Amino acid sequence: SILGQSGSGKTTMLNIIGGLDRYDSGDLVINGISTKKYRDADWDAYRNTSIGFVFQSYNLIPHQNVLSNVEMALTLSGVSRKERRKRAVEVLKKVGLQDHIHKKPNQLSGGQMQRVAIARALINNPDILLADEPTGALDTETSIQIMNLLKQIAEEKLVIMVTHNPELAEVYSTRIVNLKDGQITSDTNPFDVPEGSVEEKLTKNQKRVSMLFWTSLGLSFANLRTKIGRTILTSFAGSIGIIGIALILALSTGMNQYITRVQKETMTSYPITISSQTIDATSIMQLRTQMMGLSSSKETQSEDGKVHADYQSLKQSDAVTNNLIQNNLAEFKKYLDDPSSEIHQYVGENGIIYSYNISFGVYAKNPNQQLIDTNSELDGGNGNSNRPRMFNFTNMGVNNQAATNFSEMVAGTGGQPISSVVTDSYDMVAGSWPTDYNEVVMVLTEKNGIPVQSMYQLGFITKEQYTSAKNQLANKQDGEDFTLSYEDMLQKTFYLVPSSENYLKNKNGNYIQIKNPEYDMASLINKAIPLKVSGIIRPKEDAKNATIHTAVAYTNLLTNYVIDRANESAIVQAQKNTPEINVLNGVRFNATTDEEKIQDTKKYLLNLSDNEKANMYQLILYYDGKSQNQEINEDTNSFDMNALSKLSMNPQSSMSSMLENYLNDSPNPTTLLAIYN
């Protein structure tokens, strides 16, 4: 027993022996081994296997019964449930509580609760039992019962007890140590440690103390059940904070995603487009102001009673031409291709896409197996039958200027032929996306239709059917409902003829373009690239980026194929073989002297067709200021419109001959240089 007044250090000494407190100096020797080098894991194992604690206040868990309280020490040792139950019942029998194992602590007396605490301390079969004033809260009779129990235990184990009662210590203790101010004042049976018997090493293979996960989870739920009301209130209060934080995060994330989506949709619908040529927008706005009569400068009205030529329109047209800006795309591309360029940090996920405005014609067979140009004119128009569009910008890809029903889809990054912007904006209603150069997709409207003009131009209906439908509309009737099956559309074949196939070599060795060529089926098949329909797409509901405004769309695979084929054509090969001469007109690209330019201009004019020579001759008369009939009024710097009208009424061959005579005579060098430029 350890005796002493309050504050003498009894409990502190007991805690140091039990490993609950650490000593500042000196040493604690356990079984001949120093504890100076003990780690936390060693202390845990020591407390769990070698020490049993009996506290004055019992320290029982109120929401667990007696059996569970006693089992608690074994749960940290990883003992199975069956073994824990068996050992707990045995130790409770030893302390005389076998009839109270299912009671809660608040159903026991003070002595019974102390017996439970002793049973809990004994269940691990410790080497040392530490009792901190075990009888301090008990009456005399109960105290004697507890002391008798501890005496029985002391026959097999070391029991160290802290007490204020010297009488109990004298009766039950075999050794009494008195403390005062942390110092031993007396010891009835002192123990001398033999010199050199203490080993300063750690015990090895200490069993690690741990509680099974499911055991700890079960204990936690049992604890919550005893405080169900407080648990609910705490959970509710905590959930308000969690829900609030979650709402803030959700709003922040949603807003950021919305902003990103709007930016993406806006930039996708109106991408930054850089072309080889552009017009000075400021100059165009000034011209528009002048055309509307809003210019700040007003010309003085003539008062001579004569009508004068107004050059305002000509000046405006000339200003448009002069304000045409040529972009240096070669240097700009070098800048884009440079990985260190700053622009790359601003480029979005769609990257930088290059498009080429290739020119080609497309033909198809109508239901009568007749060959039809897909750019067939409608009512004398240009054949552009599809939905309205603003130049090339809303389409993002490239609209072919010859085949107005065809356009290129936006290419993706990393060599993908189709951008995710397109695939995310359109549903594939039949077939699949193109994977080869000779595959295209049919593009339906939101109402699952195709403009009737495109139906005719693409060969799905005949000209008679189209004309009949137009007449019905003109007569205030509903047009005929032409329907097509997906299977019929997927079986459609188009025949693409690159523009390079429409150039032929003339007798002068120059290449001339055959405009509006007429093909039969045999010659068409020899020249054309067959295109098959791989799929049919339709804009998704509320699609923001459904920007394909043609009935047929192709990929950049076809564009690259047409470019490669053009590079192998006869006209391109001829141009490569004579890089200094323009194979279209035989004129040198870089004439150095005025004399060379004049000679090239003559050669160019002589190679024109009769119709082109006639038109050119009239322009020369206008700008040269004279005619072979000398009908130009040189005094007024004007010309006789009747004389020019007579010339214009001559046959083209005559006008052509006049131009040849003019060139063989002494043409005005200034005029020829102007034509050259």
Q: What is the pLDDT of residues 287-318, one digit of tens each?
A: 667 666 544 455 556 667 677 677 677 666 66
- Please tell me the predicted confidence (pLDDT) of residue 564: 94
* Average pLDDT over the chain, rounded to an integer: 80
| Helix/strand/coil for 532 | strand
Determine the pLDDT at residue 62.
86
pLDDT in tens, 189-238: 888 766 665 665 555 445 555 556 666 777 677 777 777 788 888 888 89
pTM above 0.95, yes or no: no
Query: Which among 174, 149, 170 has a CA at the least distance from the CA of 160?
Result: 174
Instruction: Please check the confidence at residue 563 and state whether its pLDDT lies above 80.
Output: yes
> Is pLDDT above 50 for 323?
yes
* Residue 642 pLDDT exceeds 60: no
Q: Cβ atoms within 10 A of the Cβ of 171, count?
A: 11
Long-range contacts of 260-269 (CB under 8 A, 24+ apart): 264/348, 264/349, 265/544, 265/545, 267/348, 268/350, 268/396, 268/421, 268/544, 268/545, 268/547, 269/394, 269/396, 269/544, 269/545, 269/547
Q: Please count the residues of the chain.
A: 677
Strands 128-132 and 51-54: parallel
Does residue 254 carry a pLDDT above 90?
Answer: yes
Q: What is the mean pLDDT of residues 2-22?
A: 90
Angle, alpha carbons 368-369-375 (nearest 5°): 95
The whole-number pLDDT of residue 640 equals: 46
The answer to whether residue 648 scores a pLDDT higher than 70 is: no
Answer yes or no: are the C-beta atoms of 144 and 172 closer than 8 Å.
no
| Confidence label for 542 from pLDDT (cuts 50, 70 and 90) | confident
CA 533, CA 399: separation in Å to the nearest integer? 18
At residue 401 the predicted structure's pLDDT band, cuts being 50, 70 and 90, is: low
Q: What is the average per-residue pLDDT within 85-109?
A: 89
Question: Do the Cβ atoms of 457 and 374 come closer than 8 Å?
Answer: yes
Instruction: From residue 192, give the alpha-carbon distance in Å to each of 32, 187, 197, 200, 399.
Output: 12, 12, 11, 18, 105
Confidence of residue 265 (pLDDT cuts 50, 70, 90): confident
Report helix, strand and coil shares of the chain as percent, to nearest 5.
Answer: 45, 15, 45
* Nearest Cα to Cα of residue 122 among 114, 534, 476, 227: 114
Q: What backbone torsions phi and psi does residue 247 show, to the nearest 5 degrees?
A: -65, -40
| Strand-strand pairing, 51-54 and 632-633 | unpaired
Confidence of residue 556 (pLDDT cuts 50, 70, 90): very high
Which of the four pLDDT bands, split at 50, 70 and 90, describes residue 269? low
Query: Is it the case that residue 633 has pLDDT exceeding 50?
Result: no
Percent of the chain with pLDDT over 90: 23
88-92, 118-122, 381-385, 544-548: segment of lowest average pLDDT: 381-385
Helix or strand holding residue 317 (H, E) = helix 312-322
Whole-angstrom Cα distance, residue 96 to residue 153?
A: 13
SS3 of residue 139 by DSSP: coil
Amino acid in position 113 = M
